[in-house]
Amino acid sequence: MAKTGKDGKVRFGLIGCGEIAMQSLQALKLHPEVCQVSAVQDVNEPLAKDTGEKTGAAVFTDPAKLLERDDVDAVVISTPHFLHAPLTIQAAQAGKHVACEKPIACTLEQADQMIAACKSASVLLTVNYILRYDAPQKKAADLIAQGAIGKVIRFQAHVAADKPESYWSGGYTGRNKSDWRQSKEKSGGGVLIMNLIHDIDRIHKIAGLAPARLYAEYDTHSTPVEVEDNISVTVRYTNGAIGSIDAMSCARGKESFGNRIYGTDGQIELGWPLRVFTTRDVPGLKKNEWNTLELPGKAWGPEPRGEFFERFARAILKGDTACDISGEEARASLAFCLAAYESADKRAPVEF
């Protein structure tokens, strides 16, 4: 049985100290009542030492050494995608709970191995889909549950990013130099699996959608990498709804249109602020006109990531056998992305 924390706190070990780990570190600091960083590790020794100085935690370059420690109850895996599976399995075998960055893995076989290893070791596995915790997401979920827009019949997700050339060798901040983002084997894919998977996860969750069939087209138009920089996916869901997903990482001028969920009686524009149109009588909303709802926080602020870690820590401390975002749910989002790639490669629809 895994450790369950000490003195009311879960002691985290950070595996990977690059760009995304710094965001997780900031988020963990928001909840010192239940979260504590006790150890950090990165194969890049200067990065590991820098993170150790920021946290006062023990520093390692070998993940096995971190996993041996009694003062590590759970790990946060913030490494290149292809390392998620071996490190999760290694952590589970050491009796540590696992919070892994998205996507859960590069292949379904890897995801299944991770889920099985954590179940066998009786440790929790979760994947960091932080958009589930932002204010528009939670409000939209409540409105859909109330029936504010009726039956969900369509959604649109649109991202138009313009990733600089430096991103592909060092991320947005250049904190850690690596070519893994350029490789399909190491990353699993491009803009869909790296970015739009967040939108796929949250919209499927709040709208209760399960894919039945999809068709996709993708290409690499203007980026010197193996993965796609332009993709379009059309989806039919088991409830009859239709989905349209469009993403680019080479959109000069950017300007994403964001996410919209359409129902038989209205629609929701997910954003800051949240916008809602309804033909129904809903408390707090004006009927038959657009409502603009100002919500706390900001897009991609640290609070949703902080809530993710807080809730994960409390699940560990309570000895829960499940957490908010399960490995199985994360696997489903991965399966969606891989089905889109398969469809484009085959030039044919893929059934679920």
DSSP 283-341: TTS-TTSEEEE--SS-TT-HHHHHHHHHHHHHHHHHT-S--SS-HHHHHHHHHHHHHHH
Q: What is the block-wise mean pLDDT of the chain (352 residues), using blocks of 10 residues?
A: 72 97 97 98 97 96 98 98 98 98 98 98 97 94 97 96 95 94 97 96 95 98 97 98 97 94 98 96 96 87 94 97 96 98 98 96
Q: Report pLDDT for 1.
A: 43
Q: Are residues 168 and 111 in the same domain?
A: no
Q: Are residues 337 and 314 in the same domain?
A: no
Please write the tens of the pLDDT for every residue from 35-81: 999 999 999 999 999 999 999 999 999 999 999 999 999 999 999 99
117 domain residue, yes or no:
yes
| Residue 152 β-bridge partners | 263
Radius of gyration of the chain (CA): 20
Specify the 3-state DSSP secondary structure of 275. strand
Q: Are residues 115 and 183 in the same domain?
A: no
Q: Report pLDDT for 298.
A: 79
Helix H or strand E segment including 115: helix 108-121
Q: Report pLDDT for 4.
A: 66
Q: Are residues 116 and 252 in the same domain?
A: no
Q: Are residues 38 and 99 in the same domain?
A: yes
C-beta atoms surrounding 314 within 10 Å: 17
Residue 310 burial by Cβ neighbours in a 10 Å radius (0-12, 13-18, 19+):
buried
Residue 340 main-chain phi, psi, to 5 deg: -65, -45
Task: Check if the beta carbon of residue 50 is closer than 8 Å to that of residue 332.
Answer: no
Q: Are residues 116 and 157 in the same domain?
A: no
21 domain residue, yes or no:
yes
Q: Are residues 219 and 341 in the same domain?
A: yes
Residues 6+ apart with CB under 8 A from 260: 155, 156, 267, 268, 269, 270
146 domain residue, yes or no:
no
Q: Report pLDDT for 2.
A: 53
Q: Are residues 17 and 122 in the same domain?
A: yes
C-beta atoms surrounding 273 within 10 Å: 14
Number of domains in the chain: 2
Residue 224 burial by Cβ neighbours in a 10 Å radius (0-12, 13-18, 19+):
exposed
Q: Are residues 313 and 337 in the same domain?
A: no
How is residue 260 written in tokens?
A: 């919209």
Q: Report pLDDT for 3.
A: 52
Alpha-carbon span 169 to 240, nearest angstrom: 41
Domain range enclosing 124: 10-131+304-321
268 domain residue, yes or no:
no
